[in-house]
Structure 1
Amino acid sequence: MASLTQTLQRLLPSSQALPPILKSNPANLYEVLSRSQNVAGKEVHQVRWSGKQISDSYWRVTRAQFKCNGKHGKAWGQLYWKGKLVTVGRDERIRGALKYKWCDGPSVASQP
């Protein structure tokens, strides 16, 4: 069974790009989160963490509010740094959502 992204790529002319929400490339946090139906519990990390050999670090998103078709908004969650929970108590606002590129899942140290 083909994914929605694959189906749309077949149907759209090659000159027409997919909408940002459907691209699987690294993007800002809100674009990554808006690709999934339920953001609660989703794990995301900044791409640069993998480049700096930081592994098993991620934000576990608890809630998000989107604006501008999922390109902007606000997101809250809990930070896990090198496998340990850093955020204690209430959820924390996720900073750098537009400034950095984000991907799904925990960070993995890249091979040199």
Structure 2
Amino acid sequence: MSSAVAAALKKLLPKQLPPSLSSRPGNLYEVLARYPQDGIGQRIHQTRWTAKGISDCYWEVTRTKLKLEGMHGKAWGVLTWRGKRVSEQEEKIPGGLKYRWAQGASRTPIGRVSPSSSSSS
């Protein structure tokens, strides 16, 4: 490709992807907006859970109402905490804007043992 064409393309393309197309963690609504049906059926977790060594925790999203191109909204789901389903019915997912969220279940960082997986003597 010639340098003139490359320069023209560079001017047309945005310098930063919109939050809904990014693969990095973001607020709850940015993460959900990346998926079909606004994330219904996805498992999501707060990134701080992994940092604290809390593993196998996630929200399974059952309903969403996103606003402002996925920057704000509301989401409901069912919580699984350390592998055990906590909620019987869907409930509003708290901390959507306050914390950073990522897709999937939380994992224990390599080299760190989760308090729930250690055995007592």
TM-score scaled by length of structure 2: 0.78
The runs of 5 or more residues in structure 2 that have no matched partner are 1-8, 112-121
* Residue of structure 2 in register with 1:74 after alignment: 74
Structure 1 alignment gaps of length 5 or more: 1-10
Instruction: Give the CA deviation at 1:111.
Output: 2.4
**Structure 1 counterpart SS, 2:97:** coil
Query: Post-superposition shift, 1:41?
Result: 1.3
SS in 1 for 2:96: coil
Runs of 4+ aligned structure 1 residues displaced above 3 Å come to: 11-15
Distance (Å, rounded) in 2 between the aligned partners of 1:96 and 1:12: 37
Structure number with larger C-alpha Rg: 2
For residues 53-73 of structure 1, the C-alpha deviation after alignment (integer angstroms, 9 at most, x for no partner) is: 011000000010001110000
Q: Is residue 26 of structure 1 aligned with residue 46 of structure 2?
A: no
12 and 26 in structure 1: CA distance in 2 versus 1, 3 angstrom threshold: farther
Quick one: structure 1 residues 24 and 94, their matched pair in 2 at CA, closer, same or farther if it must change by over 3 Å? Answer: same
Q: Match for residue 104 of structure 2?
A: 105
Q: What fraction of aligned residue pairs are identical, expressed as a percent? A: 50
TM-score (norm 1): 0.84
Alignment coverage as a number of residue pairs: 101
- Give the structure 1 partner of residue 6 of structure 2: none
